[in-house]
Chains A and B, each alone.
Chain A
């Protein structure tokens, strides 16, 4: 069926029927009897834990499975009426665009304009028509200023937009996105999701989006498809999905939904706006009522939680207890980097101190200087001016744990009894003979951390500073919870832990203190509960719903809502 014939008709953008697929040499099926139909112009979210089959389904919908990866496949996949099992990815690219998780490997040209125009060039589109299409898609994605830039000078967020533009330039019926926000800061991530919504509404393009951070996109989608062990476990609208997740898979609940379910409020909210609307409807005034006028960062005004969670108690203990030694001292630190033969200041006179046993989240938008600060602390980058001291040593785990794994046996990475002791410290003593590539994502991260720590531990001790750079990229909530436990354990053993992260909910879960960087200098530094409830982008979903200083976790918020409900009942 021709593209013109299917556009604007009732032919579904994607029709998957009883699809079962197994990768070559795999012992289990990656997809098991998946059936799914996505109508023209629908915007659907693909939810599920890691390895649940989301990426494989997306790859089947664009023809990479089985044409590129091989393997055994059964069932049918039709994209805008075309049989995806017959047509190759190149042929399907006329009707489907695909954006993968890592933007670096999905650009093939040198300049942005050439990259966006390549799919049209390869289809034999005339140069004039091509130039217009490139211009229009660049305008739609707000990147016309990037057209003359070379791709290796772009940030992760810019690169992701360029990849999206290259996927959209052929005006496909369906766009598939595999965790496109995993490398983006909250601002760029939100922008990308709402940009997709706008394109979906204005261009009528159907969108199938796989994401772990559901709170970021649930409000923008029409429908949610949840996957579990290669099969569809739920298919319905976002509100029903939240009701289903509450009982079936709480790891998929959004923080706002958890807030409401803990407080016993129905219906569970799909996003901040719905939650605030429900709360207003329940009476008790607008969310945020009772907060002090000077609520920005701090204040102990109305609505402040009385107790939970445990980290607050620890804060109080630390503040009143003995002053612990400094794990990191930074005074007037300036760092400059070269970009396109121009020097520019990445860090501008940073002052910072991290104490032993402290858990600090280093946040800020892409390019704010988070990674540079950690890399300078680890000695990878030279300071232009200022002082940086790490008296007890530092272990840094960079963004790609796989970079630390160079041998084919875990035991060969960490030899001897000391190596075994370090492996035991991160819970990997059982995997001594395994190939690092066979470990799960979380285990690989633990192994990389063990490699960074090896030889720096004395007895049960640790380096004074353990730094992690964006450790939650592509992680589902279960793995993030494991990481929160690991960080708590490291801090409990006396290390100051600094984690550079974009993930606000993760920061709220592990950090007792948040340092927010903007343009290379700290613009906020305080207890996590204060910093993460004092803004919009760098605030948890619960903080955005309730707008109460210091309230960032569902448990805290639920307690306040219950108290309010009880108060309102007594008044009546």
Chain B
């Protein structure tokens, strides 16, 4: 499959879905509460449920490519963190492999507990990556910047430049890679460093162009602050409620001691009914962006004896 040239799968696409229609605040509260759940509970079951909820939310919001890219990135990261943790940490009772003396590392024993702890950290990173993926693909950056602008004009300017330059740089990088592939075998080879240097130089030129455009649009004007229209989306309440429910369930769960998971000295997980119920509830919050199909009203039957109104201009016989 050929992807569209230079477009990031994480780019925002303006679809007509509840998550896209919600205000940035409501969307951030919803996604942020799922990240909070991921970090509040050590149990892999609950963290996996948060990751699952984010994946479902992303898919329901139509961000398939963003979810694919985020999951691909997460899997690599989980494996990396688990391996590094297993090599660096020698705590734990269940030794899986004795790898002997390694330069710099010293004596290396790979334990099940260190591996499990690494996987736990990786899963939390996955939740964050997935939440960022959904945010990036579904929350309109223009609305975020508009909300930010009256509060911090300079930060908003930097954010505007960055949010525009990232896709432009991605497109430039794709073009430069293509051009590098098209060089004849007799031309000097282009290494990654040369390509990165060229991309950086090009990005500086691009940023000057974008800055000029911003200047022309009137960014430098000290315009009077205007009260923005704070019309709420009809989906805001749904996402705020879900966020509140998630935070409340997480706090309650912690108070009740649900979702416990111990890695050292030996792995011990609490797979009790309460934890399973909590994980199920967290997973179900992923249905937040589900759009309810409008109910069709049954066609009203005409009462016998009454004729339909004649169209305007029609002659009555």
Q: Check if A and B associate.
A: yes
Binding site for B on A (CB under 8 A): 62-64, 67-68, 88-91, 93-94, 98, 100, 102, 104-111, 114, 118-119, 121-128, 148-150, 152-153, 166, 335-341, 343, 375, 378-382, 395-398, 400, 402-407, 412-416, 418-419, 422, 451-457
CB distance from B71 to the nearest CB of A (A): 15
Contact (Cβ within 8 A) B218 A93: yes
In the complex, residue of chain B having the shortest beta-carbon distance to the beta carbon of A399: B175
Q: Does B311 contact A (CB under 8 A)?
A: no
Contact of B184 with A by CB under 8 A: yes
Evaluate contact between A340 and B185: CB separation under 8 angstroms: no
Q: Which residue of A lies closest to B180 (CB)?
A: A406
Of B140, B168, B188, B219, which is within 8 A of A122 by CB? B219
Secondary structure of the A contact surface, majority rule? mixed
New contact pairs (13) apart from A90-B218, A118-B217, CB-CB < 8 Å: A91-B221, A105-B209, A105-B210, A109-B145, A109-B160, A110-B12, A114-B142, A124-B223, A338-B2, A419-B187, A422-B186, A452-B182, A454-B186
A453:B184 contact, CB within 8 angstroms: yes
Question: Could you tell me the distance between the alpha carbons of A536 and B195 in the complex, rounded to whole angstroms?
Answer: 43
Tell me if B178 and A380 are in contact (CB < 8 A).
yes
Contact B179–A395 (Cβ < 8 Å): no
- What would 20 A/B residue contacts be, using CB atoms closer than 8 Å? A64-B215, A67-B215, A88-B220, A89-B212, A93-B216, A108-B213, A108-B217, A109-B145, A122-B217, A124-B223, A152-B167, A337-B2, A341-B13, A341-B64, A375-B178, A378-B182, A406-B176, A406-B197, A452-B182, A452-B184
| Nearest CB in chain A: distance from B248 CB, A | 34
Which residues of chain B (163-198) have a CB below 8 Å from chain A?
A: 163-164, 167-168, 171, 175-176, 178-188, 190, 194-195, 197-198
B170, chain A: closest CB distance, angstroms: 9
A111→B14 contact, CB < 8 A: yes
Inside 8 A of B224's CB, which chain A residues have their CB? 124
Of all chain A residues, the one with the shortest Cβ separation from B175 is A403
Q: Are B215 and A89 in contact (CB under 8 A)?
A: yes
Q: Please tell me if the beta carbons of A340 and B13 are within 8 angstroms of each other in the complex.
A: yes
Q: Are A105 and B168 in contact (CB under 8 A)?
A: yes
Among A108, A340, A382, chain B packs the most CB atoms within 10 A around the CB of A108
Given the known interface contacts A122-B219, A406-B195, the answer about A455 and B228 at a Cβ–Cβ threshold of 8 Å is: no
Contact A455/B187 with A382-B2, A398-B179 known, Cβ cut-off 8 Å:
yes
Q: Are A398 and B175 in contact (CB under 8 A)?
A: yes
When the two chains form their complex, are residues A338 and B1 in contact, meaning their CB atoms are under 8 A apart?
yes
How far does the alpha carbon of A106 sit from the alpha carbon of B149 in the complex, in Å?
A: 20
Neighbouring B residues of A451 by C-beta, 8 Å: 183-184, 187
Cα-based distance from A90 to B214 in the complex (angstroms): 8
Chain B: minimal CB distance from A170 (Å): 8
Given contacts A110-B163, A338-B2, A341-B65, contact A98 B216 (CB under 8 A): yes
| Nearest B residue to A404, CB-CB | B179
Least Cβ distance of A470 to chain B in Å? 13
A-contact 0/1 string along B253-292, CB 8 Å cutoff: 0000000000000000000000000000000000000000
Most buried by B among A91, A126, A149, A341: A341
- CB-based nearest B residue for A400: B175
The residue of chain A having its C-beta at the shortest distance from the C-beta of B191 within the complex is A406
Which residues from chain B sit less than 8 Å from chain A, CB to CB? 1-4, 7, 11-14, 62, 64-65, 140-143, 145-146, 149, 160-161, 163-164, 167-168, 171, 175-176, 178-188, 190, 194-195, 197-198, 202, 206, 209-221, 223-226, 228-229
Task: Report whether B212 and A341 are in contact in the complex, using a CB–CB cutoff of 8 Å.
Answer: no
The residues of B that contact A108 with a CB separation of less than 8 Å are: 160-161, 164, 210, 213-214, 217
* Inter-chain contacts of A150 with B (CB < 8 A): 11-14
Q: Which residues of B contact A414 (CB under 8 A)?
A: 186-188
Closest to A415 in B: B188
Cross-interface CB contact of A403 among B142, B176, B214, cutoff 8 Å: B176
Cβ–Cβ < 8 Å partners of A454 in chain B: 183-187
Contact across chains for B7 and A152 when beta carbons are under 8 A apart: yes
Q: Among the listed A64, A90, A403, A413, which residue makes an inter-chain contact with B178, where contact means beta carbons less than 8 Å apart?
A: A403
Partner of A396, one of B146, B182, B187: B182
Residues of B within 8 A of A62 (CB): 216
In the complex the two chains form, what is the Cα distance from A375 to B175 in whole Å? 12
Contact assessment for A90 and B221 in the assembled complex, using a CB-CB cutoff below 8 Å:
yes
Report yes or no: B185 in contact with A456, Cβ–Cβ below 8 A: yes
B184 contact set on A, CB distance < 8 A: 395, 422, 451-456
Q: Which B residues are in CB contact (< 8 Å) with A149?
A: 14
Contacts of A123 in B (CB 8 A): 218, 221, 223
- Among A106, A379, A413, contact of B187 (Cβ-Cβ < 8 Å): A413
How many angstroms between the C-alpha atoms of A340 and B160 in the bound complex? 22
Q: Are A122 and B223 in contact (CB under 8 A)?
A: yes
Q: What residues of A have a CB within 8 angstroms of the CB of B3 in the complex?
A: 337-338
Contact between A404 and B12, CB atoms less than 8 A apart: no
CB distance from A210 to the nearest CB of B (A): 16
B216 adjacent to A64 (CB under 8 Å): yes
Contact B218–A122 (Cβ < 8 Å)? yes
- Closest chain-B Cβ to A123's Cβ sits at a distance in Å of 5
Residue pair B229, A127 in contact (C-beta under 8 Å): yes
Which residues on A sit within 8 Å (CB–CB) of B176? 403, 406
